[in-house]
Structure 1
Amino acid sequence: MFRDLSRPIETGMPTYPGDPDVTLAPDATHETDGYATSELRTGTHAGTHVDAPRHTLSEGATIDQVGVGRFAFDAQLVDCRPLAPREAIGPGALPGQNGLDADPLDPAVDLLVLRTGWASHWGSDRYRDHPYLTAAAAERCRELGVGVGLDSFGPDPTPPGPAAETGPARDDEPDGTPAHDALLNDSLPIVENLCELDGLPERFRLYAFPLRLRDGDGSPVRAVAEWKE
């Protein structure tokens, strides 16, 4: 079976605070030109996308320098729910913690897809209040050699929206992008803004191929899950 886990690319879609707005508009039309083309203006991290190491590391690899096979994943779904707004996800939420649990991580897995439940807030300022990975959790992923996929803006905290809409940042939230840095420093993938995770099996293949953007720091993807019934 196949399932699309991607957000539609459309005018006015939510973007990370400060990123470019997305517009998708007709350029040529059948009525005027006899054919149709459209103009798309977007940032490289709009919608469902992958991060290249260059995203947060000035000397990191660009998206076109990463082998295409690195975007076909043996994924494992990790249900982290329930989670409070801006709650930290520690290493204890990950499979194979210290190698002592009854169900250690299969060495074939190269991507943990963390279901936080925050996909349901897409389109509202509350989406900014997603949970995030602690530095210890990101380091644990690095030790396991796995990247992460998330149903949120990313593995680090996002600046909160207007106070009337979302909660304030917590005092213990990290500054900068420590989770990004820990993963991308080892060229481990980060797939952000996934959706439709409910009902997926625990194990599946995930395909998230980026555009071949020269010197790109990331790229929108069509993220597709595949599994056998």
Structure 2
Amino acid sequence: MTKWMDISQRLDSHVPTWPGDTPFSYRLTWTKQMSGSVNVGQFTMSTHTGTHIDAPFHFDENGKRVLELDVNLYVGPARVIHLSDVERGKAASIGVDEVAQIDLQGVTRLLIRTGAWADRRVFPEKIPEIHPDLAEYLAKCGVRLLGLDLPSVDPLDSKALPAHHALTRHHIHILEGLVLDDVPAGDYELVALPLPLADADGSPVRAILRPMGPCNGAIEACGDERGV
């Protein structure tokens, strides 16, 4: 059986957080010596640390919160694509032109490797953002979940967050902070379930991938196989 690949960031004291946001910490509140039976830990973190999903409430006061989201969107077939122009610095943003030559028809979950966040021990100063016009294009292809190896879909200094809003208007959910460095382009099974946080604006996830059948090589080799 093909093994699952972990594409999540490790949660420890070295995981970078958004400047000014809550740093990650873990400590034992009870030790086995203190309790006589068990170690019990406590962690503190932002809902947007490491690999995580954004709920619409993150940027819309009237948006859905984590527990209102359809968990089925975070489990199922996914397509991983590589944007070499972005990785080489030839494209400063990700729009329709960057994906137009890739067959995305019928793909429900799209994961994009940009390679732009090279050192994940440090929060990046700049990232290639998603162009808002891409949302409509992806929606027409059937995409319902967009995942990136970046901490945001918008410029890091953006207050308006146009890509977040555009994706949500087109019913596309957002998965950020993936680790896709060693993942070949192709079709996979994805599991990236958020925690059942009733009122939260986002949630950390443990994102994992497993190649799908014979189509675990380049996208071009996967022909007409569709992710649904």
TM-score (norm 1): 0.82
Structure 2 letter corresponding to 1:63: V
What is residue 11 of structure 2 aligned with on the other side?
9
SS at match of 2:84: coil
Structure 1 runs, 4 residues or longer, greater than 3 Å off: none
What is residue 163 of structure 1 aligned with on the other side?
none
Shift of 1:43: 1.1
In the TM superposition, 1:42-53 aligns within 5 A as 42-53=45-56
Partner Cα separation in structure 1 for residue 146 and residue 74 of structure 2: 12
In the TM superposition, 1:95-110 aligns within 5 A as 97=100, 104-107=103-106, 109-110=107-108
Gaps of 5+ in 2: 215-228
TM-score (norm 2): 0.82
Shift of 1:58: 1.7
Whether 1:145 and 2:142 are equivalent positions in the alignment is yes
In the TM superposition, 1:1-229 aligns within 5 A as 1=2, 2-34=4-36, 35-83=38-86, 84=89, 87-94=92-99, 97=100, 104-107=103-106, 109-125=107-123, 127-146=124-143, 147-159=145-157, 176-227=160-211, 228=213
Work out whether residues 4 and 196 of structure 1, in 8 Å CA contact, stay in contact via their aligned partners in 2: no
Shift of 1:85: 8.9
Structure 2 letter corresponding to 1:14: P
SS at match of 1:128: coil
Structure 2 letter corresponding to 1:105: L
Shift of 1:157: 0.9
Work out whether residues 15 and 120 of structure 2, in 8 Å CA contact, stay in contact via their aligned partners in 1: no
SS at match of 1:129: coil
Partner Cα separation in structure 1 for residue 188 and residue 10 of structure 2: 22
Structure 2 letter corresponding to 1:143: K
Shift of 1:201: 4.2
Work out whether residues 139 and 171 of structure 2, in 8 Å CA contact, stay in contact via their aligned partners in 1: no
The count of corresponding residues between Structure 1 and Structure 2 is 207
Q: After the TM superposition, which of the residue ranges 132-141 and 41-50 deviates more from structure 2? A: 132-141
Structure 1 letter corresponding to 2:189: R
Gaps of 5+ in 1: 160-173
